Chains A and B, each alone.
Chain A
């Protein structure tokens, strides 16, 4: 038997109809190389006769020095794509494979099994309807099986097939199969899979792949491929609440204004009432436009252009919903995050968050706990490392529209992007909104910043000095404060060292602590500015991210970043506190300029050159700048 498509020799129309009417199943395979995952996929491609003559020839050539199956072919060679992987003999990324049967087209995401590739598995799972969890019959349920299943539940894959592979190597023993299945079912119970089937197979020998194997007469369920052909997974994104994230405003001329996007949940018909989720402005759907003609109705998954009955202010990032079924609109939510970067995640650091077509600065405000992907144990943490999963609170700079991930993956799944390198650092699933932004107001008092500033006859501001230790920050700040005070102004210096003796004495010098250090100082500076003061902050603040954080916390308070640009040789020669000497001797670790970097400010309002000027001259320059 073969699972290839009927050849179109008799009735071409019938055949082509069959091709165009097929449904699509996206699934991923989880398991390690040892479980025979690549072999299983290779076998599917081979049996579906998708391995063509020229590929087969090159495959047999490549198989020569490898462990091969009955056919003299190492099936895994078909799917291990990149040269580096072929050399190492492991799969390190997500590879996509395609095969078809008469009933379905399949897109397979082949993802690596090792713990260090949790991120790749999460990536593969994000677009899958179903997962094959492979188990080596000789080994049974392993730590990695639990890890894979946990990630599946995290990403919300609802359908699982437990593939007990290498059943030939345990002599097709039913007891082995039953024991593994029972153990897995007990473990997977709380993970909330909608369907869970188990099939005993030998990918290498083809047992229970296309048809029930005579060597497992005790197994009464369907073979793997027929099961995949038949399972119903369209879980009814069409039955969800209507969501239409606007992707692109379609405006060819003054007479046409449409909103292009993909229906992310539910359905929409001409005449339906809709609501813009952020502004809560109502409208009625007038037309559903496509190039091949207007539609009466569009369902989840369809890419269309909606025309509304009235002028409503809508732009990319807005979400249309049905009245009474609106998504959340808030600037704070709880989420689970999978970290995907070598650079750990820290609370307080600012990232860009993308959900749907909304992109906005966001901060992890609270790291509640990490979940061990192997044991599901929850532990406290101060940072999230590569491949770790954590539950966090995230605050966005402005309110965004979202749904809990379980209600809608398209409006509840997000990525976090580095603001400097633009790398994708992590991905997350929203659990619930923490408060409604429209209810969120700051306590407002009659005496406000303007009143207090007027009383003092000055403009409150934050002057943020950044530069190496010994660059002259404190000296300049001191001179400025003296001059301002002499003029009857009210100023205050927040100094790095001094603050660490009091407010921040609980903080060490790890990266997480440095961020928290900056955050607290910036918040205090803002309060002082609010009280009407001119705040002079003297902090090494070596990282662009943290300086930006300070600027963002300052909000509408005038923020002046002053970079005291003094070369390290000069600073080290001055060494007023003897710190460079101790750092060189190895007594101080992570010392900026020695074994920790100083990122040259790109956004400083003013740069003071400390190499060839005395602090007095620099203070003079700065005073002129500040007062003119």
Chain B
């Protein structure tokens, strides 16, 4: 039962129900999970997840009410899944009033793309995908051009293109302040100049929940409703709300090659292998998801949410370590953000 659940990455309509025995089971028709559901309230005090949920919903509504053309970044990862869930809650019974934008580098895991399309169909949101046409034409890839140039062209530049083309005045992202030191200081409503750049020295003071959403022509806002969530909050919320996530988060035997200590999944035959490299099956899962050649897997047998959370609590490595983008130098994320990286 549990295994089936894992492989499908949760059925959207199913709910998690806790049985007295302490096991977790899927139910196919329960509308919500009363046992652990976040919205229900027994006292006048909100739990920390209820408080975080309400704060995020308020932020999302503020975006919808304040901007002409807003868009939500959809990376397909667990944070995006939570963001999507919160957006559905924020506007229910209305549909999400803005489109979701996915920057497709063409190197995402195939399972991510399948999951993305399934979510769009099930929840009926508007999905916009964009790939940098110049990068596509020049066949920019992480193998021949290096991770830094590849990221610049296929992610940062692609994002700028898509935001400019859509003339979006607000882009919602799933970044959390606990991810990285420079993010710890970024505002929830983070102002961007006409070239999408962030000026950390010149941020608008942000008091209470009175957000200054005003812009001059050409300027835009990046909005981070998950600013105050931690990785553990994300996982416990996914668990208690039964939010569908990409199955890659769960341990499974996958074809792996090991390079410089990083486990890379050979997701398709575009991956150039060295002469002595032979992909071998390993029981692995992913802590974060991105482009498969740049995303390290971890050896793990955690095949359910409780196991993942349990493993995470015991682990001694921070989440972004699996991403090759941050390790260049201290402050590298801050530099990327000033250049327009999300």
Contacts and interface: CB of A to CB of B under 8 A. Distances in A.
Interface of A: 5, 7-9, 11-13, 16-17, 19-24, 52-55, 58, 62, 79, 81-84, 86, 93-98, 100, 104-105, 107, 119-120, 122-123, 126-127, 234, 236, 238-239, 247-248, 250-252, 256, 258, 260-262, 267, 289-293, 295, 297-303, 305, 316, 340, 352, 354-357, 409-410, 413-415, 417, 421-424, 427
Nearest to A316: B65
A413 B48 contact: no
A20 B49 contact: yes
Contact of A58 (B41, B64, B309, B330): B330
Contacts of A295: 39-41
Nearest to A124: B207
B31 A291 contact: no
Contacts of B182: 81-82
A62 B329 CA distance: 12
Nearest to B204: A424
Contacts of B230: 98, 100, 105
Given A291-B92, A422-B215, A423-B204, A301 B46 contact: yes
Nearest to B181: A81
Given A290-B92, A303-B90, A122 B318 contact: no
Contact of B214 (A54, A127, A302, A417): A417
Contact of A123 (B57, B200, B207, B239): B207
A120 B212 CA distance: 16
A23 B41 CA distance: 13
A74 B39 CA distance: 41
Interface of B: 18, 22, 31-32, 36-41, 44-54, 57-58, 61-62, 64-65, 88-95, 177-178, 181-182, 184-185, 200-201, 203-210, 212, 214-216, 227-228, 230, 232-233, 236, 239-240, 306, 309-310, 313-318, 321, 330-331, 334
B201 to A, nearest CB: 7
Contact of A251 (B38, B50, B94, B207): B94
Contact of B185 (A22, A94, A100, A250): A94
Contacts of B236: 16, 19-20
B156 to A, nearest CB: 19
Contacts of A20: 36, 38, 47, 49, 236, 240
A16 B181 CA distance: 28
A574 to B, nearest CB: 36
Contact of B46 (A95, A119, A302): A302
A96 B184 contact: yes
A427 B177 contact: no
Contact of B318 (A55, A127, A305, A356): A55
B93 A256 contact: yes
B216 A354 contact: no
Contacts of A303: 53-54, 57-58, 61, 90
Contacts of B205: 119-120, 122-123, 340, 415, 424, 427
A24 B51 CA distance: 8
A301 B51 contact: yes
Contact of B18 (A13, A107, A250, A354): A13
Contacts of A302: 41, 46, 50, 54
Contact of A292 (B37, B90, B208, B210): B37
A212 to B, nearest CB: 27
A267 B44 contact: yes
Closest CB pairs A-B (n = 5) = A24-B48, A291-B92, A238-B44, A303-B57, A252-B94
Given A292-B40, A415-B205, A422-B215, 12 more contacts: A7-B310, A8-B310, A12-B22, A19-B232, A23-B47, A96-B227, A247-B61, A261-B58, A262-B58, A293-B32, A302-B50, A417-B212
Nearest to A61: B330
A58 to B, nearest CB: 7
